[in-house]
Chains A and B, each alone.
Chain A
Amino acid sequence: MTTEPSLKRSLLEVRDLRVHFPVKEGVFSRVNRFCKAVDGVSFSIRPGETFGLVGESGCGKSTLGKAICRLLRPTAGSIEFEGNALQSLSKSGMRPFRRDLQIVFQDPAESLNSRQTVGEILEEPFIIHRLGSEAERRAKVTALLDRVGLAKSSVSKYPFEFSGGQRQRIGIARAIALEPKLLICDEPVSALDVSVQSQILNLLMELQQEMNMSYLFIAHDLSVVRVLSDRVGVMYLGKFVEIADGDELFSNPLHEYTKALMSAIPSTDLDAVRDRVILRGDVPSPIDPPPGCAFARRSPIEVSEEEASQPGDFVEVSPGHWVELHPATVRDYERYITPSR
């Protein structure tokens, strides 16, 4: 299978990454099967770029995010961050990279220590990395609070004293404390109300401008990804099915799954004429994925079982636009097949 080629000057390079979890079954917890959460993923992120990662529950997007910042150990494949291989580093081996590679989680209530004050939470990264004197650290914390739009008096408060949106601001402040080069945002706004969601998205966009960070922005909401991302990758059952520049993907989606995701979003435009792509059935389990093209049996383009059991090819159909090419995934797919391939 072809993979997305290396980009010049990329900050992060992921090659054929796999994360398989053993499935323990029976009284003896024997492992006979594996849940293939991430199953051969390749992509890159340039400095200052936002790569949006979309897909539905269970597609492996969060697992991929956690594997990249090595909260999980990948089963196979490589993760190169500024040319350094991260995939098999130990906990202590990862430490020097932690400064540059941070993550913001969906539920800030769960990721913040409820027994620490906000001041302690935000000071911790500086203490762990032995940066600055006590006075300097305090000054940093005050500046951080100010930067994410929280009052100075927040320092002595505990996370539970804040609303969901404010807690997410604390989570962001902690993640950007050491000025990382790559920030992994794992569904950072999906637990928030719409009016708060737009405040947090604006904050993330401002911070990126100021600090020139790269984002891996993981979300299930395509319209949120649309606003933030330079490039977007669509995941289905552990694999990318389409990657393209944001404008290109949203104006010219090729994969039937991408089209289904886009057309499924309920629109507030009452007069919108839509051609809704309704998928058949449910997402198959990543434990025993169907052979061949994982999407074929749900696609509105019906193909024979024989065709469905053949895997598709991930190919570049126009500069920077990659798609899983298979009779069941792309309409008139023959016209994208070039003789050279």
Chain B
Amino acid sequence: MSEFPARDEPLLSVRDLVTAFDTDDGQVVAVDGVSFDVEAGKTLGIVGESGCGKSVTAMSLMRLLPQPAGRILGGSARFQGEDLVTASEERMRSIRGAEIGMVFQEPMTALNPVHRIGKQIGEMLLLHEPLSKAEAWQRSIELLKLVGIPAPETRVGEYPHQLSGGMRQRVVIALALACNPKLVIADEPTTALDVTVQAQILDLLRSLQKRLGMSVIMITHDLGVIAEMCDEVVVMYAGRVAERGSVRDIFGNPQHLYTRGLLESIPRLDSPRKQELTTIPGAVPPLSEMPVGARFAPRSSHPEVTAYLESASFREERPVLVEFAPGHWVEDCRYVRAFEGEMTK
């Protein structure tokens, strides 16, 4: 059975994406065969801890890998029928911003400190659309209004440093939406913000998506953000997809031990106080020492995992994803999957 049954073609379809970096210690593979689909108008979340490859996945899709160290070694990313992996640099320049918008963690890195906000949004518009400067300025004001910036007529003439962190992130969202993109890639868009501001920005993203109907790829380490924002979820561990499914599958019936561990180790507002928290023992192996087999196995609590770690299968066989339930995929290795008699606190 094919991993992806035939249906209406998704907006973005990523298959077996492999991205590597040249380092002093040789080549390291940061994204190792990642596949997922983003449906039109839906939000896909990519979640995992530092170094799992979630941001590199986004950078690969935008073809913004640091040069010359980063390279896509294989796979495809079909966006409206066009492969982003093999598209020309020139073609990518017109896709970026116009058809795919981007929102990054730190708004100050996305904004130019020496230009007025109106000029920056205007430049983006002029690059992709036949407008006069005055029209572009006017559209900038409309966009600032759209993202909920008070007094947009004044703000449009200000510089980024005159705005608060939350307001800056709204400007970045306005920039990302300027040309009505079909897809917005948001990489940790609220991580640098305080919780109350984060709540405002997530609200804004949700309402904009409802109005404009774009698809969103939401990359975050925060499972709470995923639960609130996403339709589909990809859980990444050490460069690979550990589990993939609808938000109900992932939160309601997680099948990978890593997903379970993540969900259980988050302190919650209703956690009892002074009680030991569940942890995932051990640590992620360094990129240069990644095993071929199930990468989570060295941290697994499965009773027979020791035998697996010593087996040829762990050294040589890469597990595939299997469909546990319709649309719910999990790494096919019983030592990293939920097992009978598993201890859950």
Task: Assess whether B141 is interfacial by the CB under 8 Å rule.
Answer: no
Task: Assess whether A57 is interfacial by the CB under 8 Å rule.
Answer: yes
Task: Assess whether A170 is interfacial by the CB under 8 Å rule.
Answer: no
Q: Which residues of B contact A281 (CB under 8 A)?
A: 150
Q: Which residues of A contact B262 (CB under 8 A)?
A: 194-195
Partner of B265, one of A198, A263, A269, A278: A198
CB neighbors of A among B211-243 (8 A):
221-228
Complex CA distance for A73 and B224, rounded to whole angstroms: 39
| Contact (Cβ within 8 A) A278 B224 | no
Task: Assess whether A260 is interfacial by the CB under 8 Å rule.
Answer: yes
| Contact (Cβ within 8 A) A269 B227 | yes
Complex CA distance for A115 and B281, rounded to whole angstroms: 30
Partner of A266, one of B228, B248, B261: B228
Q: Which residues of B contact A279 (CB under 8 A)?
A: 196, 200
Partner of A268, one of B197, B199, B227, B261: B227
Q: Which residues of B contact A278 (CB under 8 A)?
A: 196, 199-200, 203
Task: Assess whether A155 is interfacial by the CB under 8 Å rule.
Answer: no
Closest to A57 in B: B194
Task: Assess whether B279 is interfacial by the CB under 8 Å rule.
Answer: yes
Task: Assess whether B263 is interfacial by the CB under 8 Å rule.
Answer: yes
The dominant DSSP class at the A interface is helix
Partner of B164, one of A220, A263, A282: A282
| Contact (Cβ within 8 A) A261 B196 | yes
Complex CA distance for A165 and B277, rounded to whole angstroms: 16
Q: Which residues of A contact B268 (CB under 8 A)?
A: 223, 226, 267-268
Given the interface contacts A264-B199, A268-B266, does A198 sit within 8 Å of B194 by beta carbon? no
| Contact (Cβ within 8 A) B228 A226 | no
Task: Assess whether B306 is interfacial by the CB under 8 Å rule.
Answer: no
Complex CA distance for A264 and B269, rounded to whole angstroms: 11
Complex CA distance for A340 and B198, rounded to whole angstroms: 41
Partner of A229, one of B166, B222, B273: B273
Given the interface contacts A228-B273, A282-B166, does A193 sit within 8 Å of B222 by beta carbon? no
CB neighbors of A among B260-303 (8 A):
261-263, 265-269, 271, 273-280, 283
> What 0/1 pattern do residues 238 to 274 of A give for CB contact below 8 A with B?
0000000011001000000000111111111110000
Complex CA distance for A179 and B90, rounded to whole angstroms: 63
Partner of A220, one of B195, B267, B269, B271: B195
Given the interface contacts A194-B221, A224-B267, A267-B228, does A202 sit within 8 Å of B202 by beta carbon? no
Given the interface contacts A198-B265, A246-B273, does A266 sit within 8 Å of B202 by beta carbon? yes
Q: Which residues of A contact B280 (CB under 8 A)?
A: 195
Partner of A56, one of B196, B266, B278: B196
CB neighbors of A among B134-169 (8 A):
150, 164, 166-167
Given the interface contacts A205-B274, A227-B274, A282-B164, does A276 sit within 8 Å of B265 by beta carbon? no
Given the interface contacts A163-B283, A220-B194, does A276 sit within 8 Å of B199 by beta carbon? yes
Complex CA distance for A205 and B224, rounded to whole angstroms: 24
CB neighbors of A among B72-107 (8 A):
none
Q: Which residues of A contact B222 (CB under 8 A)?
A: 266
| Contact (Cβ within 8 A) A165 B271 | no
Complex CA distance for A267 and B268, rounded to whole angstroms: 8
| Contact (Cβ within 8 A) B227 A270 | yes
Complex CA distance for A329 and B275, rounded to whole angstroms: 32
Partner of B266, one of A57, A223, A276: A223
**Chain B nearest Cβ from A59, distance in angstroms:** 9
Partner of B275, one of A196, A227, A262, A268: A227
Task: Assess whether B308 is interfacial by the CB under 8 Å rule.
Answer: no
Contact residues on A (Cβ < 8 Å of other chain), bracket: 35 or more
**Chain A nearest Cβ from B116, distance in angstroms:** 20
| Contact (Cβ within 8 A) B265 A197 | yes
Partner of B279, one of A198, A246, A260: A198
Complex CA distance for A264 and B267, rounded to whole angstroms: 15
Task: Assess whether B314 is interfacial by the CB under 8 Å rule.
Answer: no
Partner of B195, one of A193, A247, A265: A265
| Contact (Cβ within 8 A) A198 B283 | no
> What 0/1 pattern do residues 188 to 219 of A give for CB contact below 8 A with B?
00000111111101100100000000000000
| Contact (Cβ within 8 A) B224 A199 | no
Task: Assess whether A144 is interfacial by the CB under 8 Å rule.
Answer: no
Q: Which residues of B contact A196 (CB under 8 A)?
A: 283
| Contact (Cβ within 8 A) A193 B266 | no
A165, A194, A221 interface centre (most CB from chain B within 10 Å): A194
Partner of B267, one of A227, A247, A276: A227
Q: Which residues of A contact B166 (CB under 8 A)?
A: 282
**Chain B nearest Cβ from A130, distance in angstroms:** 36
**Chain A nearest Cβ from B166, distance in angstroms:** 6
Q: Which residues of A contact B277 (CB under 8 A)?
A: 198, 201-202, 227
Task: Assess whether B68 is interfacial by the CB under 8 Å rule.
Answer: no
**Chain A nearest Cβ from B147, distance in angstroms:** 15
A198, A247, A281 interface centre (most CB from chain B within 10 Å): A198
Closest to B265 in A: A198
Closest to A260 in B: B196
Complex CA distance for A197 and B268, rounded to whole angstroms: 13
Partner of A265, one of B269, B271, B274: B269
Q: Which residues of B contact A246 (CB under 8 A)?
A: 273
Task: Assess whether B252 is interfacial by the CB under 8 Å rule.
Answer: yes
Task: Assess whether A222 is interfacial by the CB under 8 Å rule.
Answer: yes
Closest to B227 in A: A268
Given the interface contacts A194-B265, A220-B195, A282-B166, does A270 sit within 8 Å of B252 by beta carbon? yes
8 CB-based A-B contacts, threshold 8 Å: A196-B283, A226-B271, A226-B273, A261-B195, A268-B224, A270-B251, A278-B199, A279-B200
What is B's interface to A at a CB cutoff of 8 Å? 49-50, 150, 164, 166-167, 194-200, 202-203, 221-228, 247-248, 251-252, 261-263, 265-269, 271, 273-280, 283
Supply 15 further A-B pairs (C-beta < 8 A) apart from A193-B49, A223-B269. A56-B195, A163-B283, A165-B283, A196-B283, A202-B276, A227-B271, A250-B269, A266-B198, A266-B202, A266-B227, A267-B228, A268-B227, A270-B252, A278-B203, A282-B164
Closest 4 CB pairs of A and B: A266-B224, A56-B194, A193-B49, A264-B199
